[in-house]
């Protein structure tokens, strides 16, 4: 098993208690944008948990993907207020800009396009996240500009 | 346009976003005994601002009564209800007042460790919160209050706003709500007595201690004392965050925020109720009418209420924790059911079957999530049945 | 004394200790509340909600399995509101359950089906939302069909709490929530030990054993095949449960008759090779003690038993550095296969290529064990098919045999005779007791100093048992053991095994001999035994096992005349060349995560 230095770093930072599991997974996720099989196995070993338990916990949370994702993850809010403000147009604009469908990752592993539940910017919809950064009051043009900014 | 009226409202109440001398309030609180703080909170009749509305004074009282070597104070900042964004704004603009409420709680119940469980979607707030915390901790040290607040992040799970799911998540588990009893004030984080309050609630507790319960009680109604921060979105010319007195009617609300063509208001987000125009007059916003964690979404006549319901049910299908039957399967049946009725694969009377089933979701789901899914379903079916069927 | 709480259930007063659940309080009044996620061996979950009851003054219904009683509570367990909620819940469960009931292995013994019947459910009221993906048949022991899973999580809790294996977890949430292995990998590629305890507790057909019923019938119908069968000791004390007897009823003789009627050419007994195991393993222990104590050689002590294949695989995954501690003896099942296709084949003049060895086991891990690559020392796969007690019960029913009134017969000779020491292999502590009965006598020339040879300190249902036995009056060969205190430990259930292994790993446990059985209670609580299972039933099976031992005239493995004969005519001596070839094996280090 190849050791992921990120897991080791995270364990060093947060400790080996069960309550550290989320911060550890979040740390690794921030570095890699997904949790690999090896990452989860290593976390399981460090925290003395079964790997199924680590996987089961991670997969509960939408922001802890266990499938490989792009370097930048775009999450367009699909909750009702953003829906009313035409989030579909935003998704279409991004889809054609990146030439991928919603849910897919670009072949160069740069971007993944996803939908997500309420981001808490309902008064400024449509909204999206690119990794941790928020973009609000989007128009198709602004969405494309945001992508370009992240290229 | 109702902008003038709005300005008036904004002026009238400003407890949450007003700048205060937080150090002074902290001084005052630390000089007040735990008993007196609890008495003041109980006298204020303040109820939790997250949505469920449990009396805050009682919660603190129960926690204070517990004998334990360790107690925790947790600020629930896992704001995920569609249409709610006020906690983000409060943490962004008045974080110190939130910390202040937590510190007062710690002083009251006897805790030395606090957490802010911040939803992952608000991670961008962390650097500034950390900075403000540093300053706040310095002050606590100077005042010799042994209390430290740390930030824990969520990772995209609406149900973690349920306090026991939040605690499970903090313990490094799937955010599945626990069986109650025991309640967190008896056995919460790591099995220790734990107070979990919403962001806004903590700020109000600080303000009640500053100004006294009497002043707070002058606002609102018998069952819903005080004011509340509302997140207003949807078809409105004035989307945003407003602190308003509790107990106003929807009619008054729509007069302030409507676009002149409001056909329905969703009070309390996806887990709340949809109120049609004809019921605006009789509907009170508050615990005697429709309580809300703050989400107010307006829909005008151009909107399909079927789409609204579909969006909500889709949300619940994804965000149910999936452990208990009524919620896990019930949500799926409601969503698949309205789709089937729309597609004429099921007769329209199937909606009545589903309504019957929602009684079981309400009565038998393990937590508030499953128990409140029927709210949007029944209120939209009852008031906009044609839109759902045809 | 716990505080007593007074409440009423269905208007009848009842008083129970504080902390009692409403479910148990109702039981005291003889009211049964239906349950699905609840299981007496597991912690409370409260997630299926079928056990809801009405509590006066409460807005919602109350899940009775996870709610403690409170003073002056007024509970209704069968009100209209309760019945309506339960009916809805059953129908919701049915809507996420693949209802091919008549084709299901669990048809008529399915707990969901039984509740559906009570509530006269309209099975198609709701839209089918069951998860459809291919059934996982990767494991030779356990198959997993997600389309039948109702997410009660009994399997997850079984694997985590009872066995500390953690092969399963709930994964995802909401409508995607599902019981999965790590990354949803095939069952055969994860840390699963094949113990089958999850099967015993699955209320539906989502987890079942891989069954080999058709293969066995085909072999029996094939005139070119010589089909012999062996049955493990724990089968005879549980088979009756699936065929109309109360738990604890022994059906040894009827079982033999039924097997004859089914058409097996020879009915043998795994007990014969259990006796053989004792001879080999007992000598191995003495050999290791001699190497360590007398010759001061580096030897892996404590020695650990190797009869339980679930335990073996667990150790290989979880404590791979301890595999040298395992006895190299094959399990009785595998010893049987190896001697059947060599010794018996020669004696009976049967070509082993045409011989089929079927074993009837209380165990699902034995299915995996039989297919291990190294288990072919006869030149063929030593054991061809392993069926569980449950599969045998079904085959007896298929054959139309009226089991309850069947006459009793005995096994065929050569591999059929056995001692009481072999029978008690089926209960936790049994292998230890059997080994002591022989080893003590080898060392001292005298019987173990316990009344009726019954070594009580190693018996019973405690999770971890410890005992010691002082050795005095040694024969000349064993003088180095004079006055030694032989330290013993026994664990059953893998969570208990883990506790013990952690001590061994740390070096804080200075035992000489450890017996481990993967399943609670030992083989009698095996993953292939009739359902339901609980402590009460397992205790009854245990009593039956010890009664079987008491009733036998031969109580010690080395007194078994057929064992003497096989050494004289075939094996020559314990741990000899032939033994090593046929009766001993090696183990594989496996990945822990």
Residues B24 and B107 in one domain: yes
CB contact under 8 A, B366 and C88: no
**How far is residue A138's CA from residue A126's CA, in Å, rounded to a whole number?**
5
Model confidence pLDDT, tens digit, residues C76-116: 999 999 999 999 999 999 999 999 999 999 999 999 999 99
Examine the fold and report which residue of B280, B300, B320 is the final residue of a domain before the chain moves on: B300
**How far is residue C19's CA from residue C33's CA, in Å, rounded to a whole number?**
18
Q: Is residue B6, in this structure, part of any structural domain at all? A: no
**How far is residue C374's CA from residue C378's CA, in Å, rounded to a whole number?**
11
Sheet with C303-304: strands ordered across: C303-304, C513-517, C485-492, C464-470
Tell whether A136 is within 8 A of chain B (Cβ).
Answer: no
Residues C553 and C566 in one domain: yes
Angle at C273 between CA C272 and CA C278, to 5 degrees: 105
Examine the fold and report which residue of A18, A35, A60 is the final residue of a domain before the chain moves on: A60
CB contact under 8 A, C191 and A59: no
pLDDT at position B5 = 67
Residue C576 vs residues A22, C279, C280, C337: alpha-carbon distances, Å: 56, 12, 9, 18
Q: What is the CA radius of gyration of chain A?
A: 17
Examine the fold and report which residue of C376, C405, C434 is the final residue of a domain before the chain moves on: C405
pLDDT at position B51 = 80
Residues B273 and B211 in one domain: no
Examine the fold and report which residue of C379, C405, C431 is the final residue of a domain before the chain moves on: C405
Angle at C548 between CA C544 and CA C553, to 5 degrees: 165
Most distant pair of Cα atoms in chain B: their distance: 69
Using pLDDT thresholds of 50, 70 and 90, give the confidence band for residue C121: confident
pLDDT at position B8 = 63
Q: Is residue B110, in this structure, part of any structural domain at all? A: yes
Examine the fold and report which residue of B217, B237, B272 is the final residue of a domain before the chain moves on: B217
3-state DSSP assignment of residue C175:
helix
For C544, the enclosing helix (H) or strand (E) is helix C535-551
Residue C239 vs residues C22, C199, C232, C521: alpha-carbon distances, Å: 34, 17, 11, 16
Active-site position among C327, C377, C557, C579: C327
Which chain C residue shows the shortest CA-CA distance from B356?
C88
Model confidence pLDDT, tens digit, residues B126-161: 999 999 999 999 999 999 999 999 999 999 999 999
Sheet with A72-77: strands ordered across: A111-116, A72-77, A128-130, A133-135
DSSP-derived pairing of the beta strands C266-269 and C226-231: parallel
| CB contact at 8 A, C53 and C77 | yes
Percent of chain A with pLDDT over 70: 97
CATH number for B281: 3.10.20.600
Model confidence pLDDT, tens digit, residues B154-173: 999 999 999 999 999 999 99
Residues A141 and A79 in one domain: yes
Residues C471 and C578 in one domain: yes
Mean pLDDT of the region A48-69 = 96
Ramachandran region of residue C301, left (φ > 0), alpha (ψ -120 to 50) or beta? beta
**How far is residue C349's CA from residue C204's CA, in Å, rounded to a whole number?**
46
pLDDT at position B52 = 84
Residues A99 and A79 in one domain: yes
**How far is residue B252's CA from residue B282's CA, in Å, rounded to a whole number?**
11
| CB contact at 8 A, C179 and C142 | no
Residues A141 and A76 in one domain: yes
B254 is in which domain, residue-wise?
227-300
CB contact under 8 A, B156 and A25: no
Q: Is residue A107, in this structure, part of any structural domain at all? A: yes
Count CA atoms closer than 13 A to B81's CA, side-chain side: 37
CATH number for A84: 3.40.30.10
Mean pLDDT of the region C459-468 = 96
Name, in order, each residue with C-beta under 8 angstroms of A13's C-beta and a sequence gap of 6 or more.
A23, A27
Query: How many structural domains is chain A composed of?
Result: 2
Residues C189 and C112 in one domain: yes
3-state DSSP assignment of residue C304:
strand
Using pLDDT thresholds of 50, 70 and 90, give the confidence band for residue B3: low
Angle at A140 between CA A137 and CA A144, to 5 degrees: 100
| CB contact at 8 A, C500 and C514 | yes
CATH number for C139: 3.30.70.20
Residues C447 and C320 in one domain: yes
Alpha helix positions (H), C494-534: 494-506
Q: Is residue C178, in this structure, part of any structural domain at all? A: yes
Mean pLDDT of the region C409-436 = 96
Residues C298 and C435 in one domain: yes
Residues C265 and C311 in one domain: no
Tell whether B320 is within 8 A of chain C (Cβ).
Answer: yes
Model confidence pLDDT, tens digit, residues A75-87: 999 999 999 999 9
Residues B309 and B290 in one domain: no
Residues B194 and B99 in one domain: yes
**How far is residue B174's CA from residue C178's CA, in Å, rounded to a whole number?**
13
Phi, psi of B356 (to 5 degrees): -60, -40
Q: Is residue C541, in this structure, part of any structural domain at all? A: no
Mean pLDDT of the region B112-126 = 97
- In angstroms, the separation between the Cα of residue B362 and the nearest Cα of chain C is 7
How remote is the C-alpha of B350 from its chain's centroid?
33
Whose CA is closest to C400, among C192, C243, C227? C243
| CB contact at 8 A, B199 and B15 | no
Mean pLDDT of the region C543-562 = 97
Q: What percentage of chain A's residues is helix, strand, coil (to nearest 5)?
A: 50, 15, 35
Residues A93 and A144 in one domain: yes
Residues A79 and A115 in one domain: yes
CB contact under 8 A, A84 and B152: no
Residues A84 and A132 in one domain: yes
Residues B316 and B286 in one domain: no
Residues C376 and C509 in one domain: no
Residue A103 vs residues A100, B35, B131, C510: alpha-carbon distances, Å: 8, 54, 36, 57
A96 is in which domain, residue-wise?
72-149
- pTM score of the predicted model: 0.96
Model confidence pLDDT, tens digit, residues C320-333: 999 999 999 999 99
Residues C395 and C492 in one domain: no
| CB contact at 8 A, C272 and C417 | yes
Using pLDDT thresholds of 50, 70 and 90, give the confidence band for residue B4: low
C66 is in which domain, residue-wise?
4-78
Q: Is residue A99, in this structure, part of any structural domain at all? A: yes
**How far is residue B230's CA from residue B288's CA, in Å, rounded to a whole number?**
17
Select the residue from A30, A120, A128, A137 to test the B interface by mutation, using most B Cβ atoms within 10 A: A120
| CB contact at 8 A, C562 and C272 | yes
pLDDT at position C374 = 95
| CB contact at 8 A, B119 and B216 | no
CATH number for C379: 3.40.50.1780
Is C535 a residue whose pLDDT tops 70? yes
- Of C160, C182, C191, Cβ closest to residue A55: C182
Other CB atoms within 10 A of residue A70 CB? 21
Q: Is residue A67, in this structure, part of any structural domain at all? A: no
3-state DSSP assignment of residue C493:
coil
CATH number for B182: 3.40.50.11540
Alpha helix positions (H), chain B: 3-12, 22-31, 34-44, 56-65, 86-109, 126-142, 163-170, 199-211, 213-217, 250-257, 305-319, 325-342, 350-364, 368-389
Using pLDDT thresholds of 50, 70 and 90, give the confidence band for residue A1: very low
Residues A21 and A89 in one domain: no
- Of B83, B171, B235, Cβ closest to residue A18: B171
Residues in chain B closer than 8 A to C150 (CB atoms): 325
Residues B60 and B128 in one domain: yes
Q: Is residue C414, in this structure, part of any structural domain at all? A: no
DSSP string, C475-487: -GGGGGGTT-EEE
- In angstroms, the separation between the Cα of residue A18 and the nearest Cα of chain B is 5
pLDDT at position B10 = 58
**How far is residue C338's CA from residue C396's CA, in Å, rounded to a whole number?**
27
| CB contact at 8 A, B309 and C138 | no
Residues A56 and A76 in one domain: no
Residues A48 and A76 in one domain: no
Mean pLDDT of the region B255-273 = 96
| CB contact at 8 A, A55 and C169 | yes
Q: For chain C, which chains pass the contact test of at least 3 CB pairs under 8 Å?
A: A, B
Tell whether B234 is within 8 A of chain C (Cβ).
Answer: no
Using pLDDT thresholds of 50, 70 and 90, give the confidence band for residue A54: very high
**How far is residue A35's CA from residue A37's CA, in Å, rounded to a whole number?**
7
First to last CA, chain C: 45
| CB contact at 8 A, C162 and C393 | no
Using pLDDT thresholds of 50, 70 and 90, give the confidence band for residue A133: very high
Mean pLDDT (chain B) is 95
pLDDT at position B11 = 57
Residues B336 and B293 in one domain: no
C307 annotated active-site:
yes
Q: Which residues pair with B72 in a beta bridge?
A: B113, B194
Mean pLDDT of the region C210-234 = 98
Phi, psi of B135 (to 5 degrees): -65, -45
Residues C489 and C377 in one domain: no
pLDDT at position A151 = 86
3-state DSSP assignment of residue A151:
coil
Residues A48 and A79 in one domain: no
Active-site position among C160, C281, C318, C515: C281
Q: What is the CA radius of gyration of chain B?
A: 21
Mean pLDDT (chain C) is 96
Q: Is residue B47, in this structure, part of any structural domain at all? A: yes
Residues C318 and C246 in one domain: no
Residues C282 and C390 in one domain: no
Q: Is residue C534, in this structure, part of any structural domain at all? A: no
Residues B309 and B275 in one domain: no
C327 annotated active-site:
yes
Residues in chain B closer than 8 A to A25 (CB atoms): 155
Percent of chain B with pLDDT over 90: 93
Name, in order, each residue with C-beta under 8 angstroms of B371's C-beta and a sequence gap of 6 or more.
B361, B362, B363, B365, C60
Query: How many structural domains is chain B composed of?
Result: 3
Model confidence pLDDT, tens digit, residues B15-43: 999 999 999 999 999 999 999 999 999 99
pLDDT at position C532 = 95
Cα torsion through B159, B160, B166, B170, rounded to 10: 130
Name, in order, each residue with C-beta under 8 angstroms of A132's C-beta and a sequence gap of 6 or more.
B123, B124
Residues in chain C closer than 8 A to A50 (CB atoms): 160, 165-167, 169, 182, 191, 593
DSSP string, B52-80: S--BHHHHHHHHHH---S--EEEEEE---
pLDDT at position C123 = 67
Model confidence pLDDT, tens digit, residues B274-284: 999 999 999 99
Model confidence pLDDT, tens digit, residues C299-355: 999 999 999 999 999 999 999 999 999 999 999 999 999 999 999 999 999 999 999
Model confidence pLDDT, tens digit, residues B64-95: 999 999 999 999 999 999 999 999 999 999 99
Residues B266 and B213 in one domain: no
Is B322 a residue whose pLDDT tops 70? yes
Mean pLDDT of the region C400-424 = 96
CB contact under 8 A, A63 and B170: no
Cα torsion through C33, C35, C38, C39, rounded to 10: 90
Residues B33 and B122 in one domain: yes
Query: How many structural domains is chain C composed of?
Result: 4
Is B1 a residue whose pLDDT tops 50? no
pLDDT at position C261 = 98
Active-site position among C515, C523, C557, C579: C523
Examine the fold and report which residue of B182, B217, B252 is the final residue of a domain before the chain moves on: B217
Q: Is residue C30, in this structure, part of any structural domain at all? A: yes
Q: Is residue A66, in this structure, part of any structural domain at all? A: no
**How far is residue C190's CA from residue C157's CA, in Å, rounded to a whole number?**
17
Residues A45 and A106 in one domain: no
Residues B293 and B319 in one domain: no
| CB contact at 8 A, C263 and C410 | no
Q: Is residue A65, in this structure, part of any structural domain at all? A: no
User: How high is the ipTM of this complex?
Assistant: 0.95
Name, in order, each residue with C-beta under 8 angstroms of C287's C-beta and a sequence gap of 6 or more.
C575
Q: Is residue C518, in this structure, part of any structural domain at all? A: yes
- In angstroms, the separation between the Cα of residue A43 and the nearest Cα of chain C is 10
Using pLDDT thresholds of 50, 70 and 90, give the confidence band for residue B62: very high
Q: What is the CA radius of gyration of chain C?
A: 25
pLDDT at position C223 = 97
Tell whether B359 is within 8 A of chain C (Cβ).
Answer: yes
Is A96 a residue whose pLDDT tops 60? yes
Residues A80 and A32 in one domain: no
Of B299-313, C304-318, C498-512, which range is least confident? C498-512
Is B7 a residue whose pLDDT tops 70? no
């Amino acid at each position: 098993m190849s050791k992921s230095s990120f897991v080791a770093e995270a364990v060093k930072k947060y400790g080996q208690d069960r309550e550290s599991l989320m911060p550890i997974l979040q740390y690794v996720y921030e570095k890699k944008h997904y949790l690999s099989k090896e990452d989860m196995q290593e976390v399981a070993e460090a925290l003395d948990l079964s790997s199924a338990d680590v996987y089961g916990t991670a997969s509960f949370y939408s922001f802890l993907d266990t499938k490989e994702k792009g370097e930048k993850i775009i999450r367009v809010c699909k909750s009702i207020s953003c829906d009313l403000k035409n989030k579909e147009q935003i998704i279409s604009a991004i889809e054609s800009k990146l030439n991928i469908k919603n849910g897919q990752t670009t072949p160069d592993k740069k971007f993944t396009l996803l939908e997500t539940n309420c981001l808490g910017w309902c008064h400024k919809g449509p909204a999206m996240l690119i990794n941790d950064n928020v973009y609000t009051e989007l128009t198709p043009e602004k969405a494309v500009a945001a992508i370009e900014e992240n290229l | 346009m109702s902008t003038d009226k709005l300005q008036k409202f904004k002026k009238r109440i400003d407890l949450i976003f007003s700048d205060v001398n937080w150090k002074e309030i902290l001084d005052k609180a630390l000089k007040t005994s735990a008993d007196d703080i609890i008495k003041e909170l109980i006298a204020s009749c303040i109820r939790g601002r997250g949505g469920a509305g449990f009396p805050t004074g009682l919660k603190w009282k129960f926690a204070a009564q517990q004998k334990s070597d360790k107690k925790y104070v947790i600020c629930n900042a896992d704001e995920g209800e569609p249409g709610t964004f006020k906690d983000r704004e409060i943490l962004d603009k008045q974080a110190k007042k939130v910390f202040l409420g937590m510190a007062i709680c710690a002083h009251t119940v006897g805790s030395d460790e606090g957490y802010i469980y911040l939803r992952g979607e608000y991670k961008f707030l962390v650097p500034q919160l950390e900075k403000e915390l540093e300053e706040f901790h310095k002050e606590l040290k100077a005042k010799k209050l042994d209390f430290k607040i740390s930030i824990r992040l969520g990772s995209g799970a609406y149900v973690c706003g349920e306090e026991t799911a939040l605690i499970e998540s903090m313990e490094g588990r799937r955010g599945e709500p626990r069986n109650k009893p025991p309640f967190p004030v008896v056995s919460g984080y790591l099995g220790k007595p734990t107070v979990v309050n919403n962001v806004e609630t903590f700020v109000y507790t600080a303000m009640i201690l500053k100004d006294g319960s009497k002043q707070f009680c002058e606002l609102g109604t018998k069952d819903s004392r005080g004011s509340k921060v509302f997140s207003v979105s949807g078809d409105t010319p004035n989307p945003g965050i407003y602190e308003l007195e509790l107990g106003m009617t929807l009619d008054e609300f729509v007069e302030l925020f409507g676009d002149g063509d409001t056909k329905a208001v969703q009070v309390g987000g996806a887990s709340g109720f949809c109120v049609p125009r004809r019921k605006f007059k009789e509907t009170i916003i508050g615990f005697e009418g429709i309580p809300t964690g703050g989400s107010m979404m307006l829909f005008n006549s151009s909107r399909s209420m079927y789409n609204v319901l579909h969006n909500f049910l889709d949300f619940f299908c994804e965000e149910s924790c999936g452990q208990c039957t009524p919620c896990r399967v019930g949500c799926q049946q409601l969503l698949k059911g309205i789709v089937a009725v729309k597609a004429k694969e099921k007769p329209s009377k199937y909606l009545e079957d589903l309504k019957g089933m929602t009684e079981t979701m309400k009565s038998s789901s393990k937590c508030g999530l499953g128990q409140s899914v029927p709210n949007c379903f029944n209120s939209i079916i009852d008031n906009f049945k044609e839109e759902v069927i045809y | 004394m716990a505080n007593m709480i007074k409440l009423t259930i269905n208007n009848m007063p009842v008083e129970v200790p504080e902390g009692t659940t409403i479910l148990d309080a109702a039981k005291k009044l003889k009211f049964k509340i239906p349950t699905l996620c609840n299981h007496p061996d597991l912690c409370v979950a409260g997630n299926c909600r079928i056990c809801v009851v009405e509590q006066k003054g409460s807005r919602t219904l109350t899940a009775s399995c996870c709610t403690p009683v409170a003073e002056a509570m007024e509970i209704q367990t069968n009100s209209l509101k309760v019945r309506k909620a339960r009916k809805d819940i059953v129908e919701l469960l049915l809507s996420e359950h693949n209802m091919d009931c008549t084709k299901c292995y669990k048809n008529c013994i399915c707990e969901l089906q039984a509740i559906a019947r009570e509530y006269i459910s309209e099975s198609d009221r709701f839209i089918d939302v069951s998860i459809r993906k291919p059934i996982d048949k990767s494991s030779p022991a356990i198959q997993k069909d997600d389309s039948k899973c109702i997410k009660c999580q009994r399997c997850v809790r079984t694997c985590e709490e009872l066995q500390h294996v953690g092969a399963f977890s709930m994964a995802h949430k909401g409508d995607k929530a599902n019981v999965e292995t790590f990354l949803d990998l095939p069952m055969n590629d994860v840390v699963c030990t094949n113990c089958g305890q999850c099967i015993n507790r699955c209320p539906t057909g989502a987890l079942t054993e891989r069954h080999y019923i058709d293969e066995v019938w085909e072999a029996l119908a094939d005139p070119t095949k010589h089909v012999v069968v062996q049955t493990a000791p724990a089968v005879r004390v549980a088979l009756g449960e699936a065929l109309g007897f109360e738990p604890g009823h022994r059906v040894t003789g009827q079982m033999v008759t039924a097997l004859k009627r089914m058409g097996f050419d020879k009915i043998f007994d795994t007990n014969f090779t259990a006796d053989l195991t004792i001879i080999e393993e007992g000598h191995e222990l003495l050999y290791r003690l001699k190497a360590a104590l007398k010759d001061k050689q580096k030897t892996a002590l404590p020695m650990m038993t190797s009869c339980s294949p679930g335990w073996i695989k667990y150790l290989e995954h979880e404590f791979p550095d301890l595999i040298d501690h395992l006895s190299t003896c094959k399990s009785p099942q595998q010893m049987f296969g190896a001697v059947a296709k060599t010794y018996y084949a020669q004696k009976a003049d049967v070509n082993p290529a045409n011989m089929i060895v079927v074993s009837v086991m209380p165990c699902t891990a034995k299915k995996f064990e039989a297919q291990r690559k190294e288990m072919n020392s006869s030149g063929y796969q030593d054991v061809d098919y392993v069926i569980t007690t449950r599969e045998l019960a079904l085959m007896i029913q298929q054959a139309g045999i009226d089991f309850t009134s069947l006459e009793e017969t005995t096994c065929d000779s050569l591999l059929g005779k056995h001692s009481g020491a072999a029978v008690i292999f089926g209960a936790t502590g049994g292998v230890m007791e059997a080994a002591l009965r022989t080893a003590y006598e080898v060392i001292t020339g005298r019987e173990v100093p316990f009344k009726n040879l019954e070594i009580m300190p190693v018996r019973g249902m405690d999770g971890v048992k410890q005992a010691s036995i002082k050795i005095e009056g040694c024969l000349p060969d064993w003088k180095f053991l004079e006055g030694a205190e032989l330290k013993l430990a026994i664990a059953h259930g893998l969570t208990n095994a883990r506790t013990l292994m952690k001590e061994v790993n740390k070096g804080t446990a200075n035992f000489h001999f450890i017996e481990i059985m993967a399943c609670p209670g030992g083989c009698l609580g095996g993953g292939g035994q009739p359902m339901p299972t609980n402590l009460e039933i397992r205790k009854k099976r245990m009593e039956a096992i010890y009664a079987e031992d008491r009733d036998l005239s031969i109580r010690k493995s080395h007194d078994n005349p057929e064992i003497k004969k096989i050494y004289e005519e075939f094996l020559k001596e314990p741990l000899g060349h032939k033994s090593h070839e046929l009766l001993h094996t090696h183990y594989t280090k496996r990945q822990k995560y």
